[in-house]
Each structure stands twice: as C-alpha cells, then as structure tokens.
Amino acid sequence: MYATLSRLLKNGLVEVDGVEPGGGPDRKRYAITDAGVTDVSRWLAQPEKPEPYLQSTLYAKVVLALMTGRPAADLLDSQRAEHLRLMRELTRRKSDGDLAEQLICDHALFHLEADLRWLELTAARLDDLAKEVSA
C-alpha cells in the first residue's frame, strides 16, 4: 500500500492532507487531487478487456496427461471437485454478505460455472482429444 501511495504522490494524483502523530511513525492522511479525480474518471470510462482464456493451464494439463498416458478423466474429476468446493464456499460467503459482497461472489460463481461447463464438455470429448493428441 505504501508503495502505491508513494507512486500516486509522485505522480501528483494524491497529496498529503495532514499528519497525525501515532504510537509509531506519524500517520499521513492523503487526499485525491484534481489530476487524481481526472485519472479515476478516465480509468472508470475505459471498458475492461475480456479475458479470452486461450492459454489455460488446465487445458495444458489435460493434453499433457493424454500425451503421457495418464488418466485425464481423473484430472478433470479432481478439478470439478475443486470448482464445486469453491462454489460452495462462495455461495456461503454470498449468503452472509452485503450487496457488494454478493455481486463479487456472483461474478466469481458465473466464471466457475463456465469452467464447469468446459470441464463437462472436455470430459465428453476426451476420447476424441486423445486421438488427436496421439496423432
């Protein structure tokens, strides 16, 4: 956090707004500058680049398992179990959280659901993929 505040201060996006004595080093209070407000506005206006997931470690593991004669179906099963475990955890967290917590949990849950669909599709096509990998 201190490195980030130092960078923001150096770039003129925040300024020291006060110093308060504490039990240790003095505590600095920061305030956003006009340049900082402009920078935040510009950042908020830019859409995030969607992640295409074209370089998946999980896919690489499936292919490597097939190439080396290991049971790729077991890999998919254990990954499915891990996804379901995390989904249960996020669902519990979501039920106890406020609206912001619920929304961030929903975001993660939707991504995990998409991953589960991919795991099921890959499991269904595993024989075909094994033939292509061995060719």
Same domain? 38 vs 63? no
Hey, CA dihedral for 93, 94, 99, 104, is it positive or negative? Answer: positive
Q: Examine residue 50 and state whether it is found in any structural domain, yes or no.
A: no
Same domain? 122 vs 75? yes
Q: Examine residue 51 and state whether it is found in any structural domain, yes or no.
A: no
Residue ranges making up the domain that contains 6:
2-45
Same domain? 41 vs 101? no
Q: Which residue has the tokens 């950042």?
A: 43
Same domain? 63 vs 120? yes
Q: What is the pLDDT along the chain (135 residues), one digit of tens a residue?
A: 889 999 999 999 999 999 988 778 888 899 999 999 999 999 989 988 887 776 789 999 999 999 999 999 999 999 999 999 999 999 999 999 999 999 999 999 999 999 999 999 999 999 999 999 988
Q: How many domains does the chain have?
A: 2
Same domain? 17 vs 64? no
pTM of the model: 0.72
Q: What is the pLDDT of residue 94?
A: 96
| CA 95 – CA 101 distance, rounded (Å) | 9
Hey, CA dihedral for 72, 77, 78, 82, is it positive or negative? Answer: positive
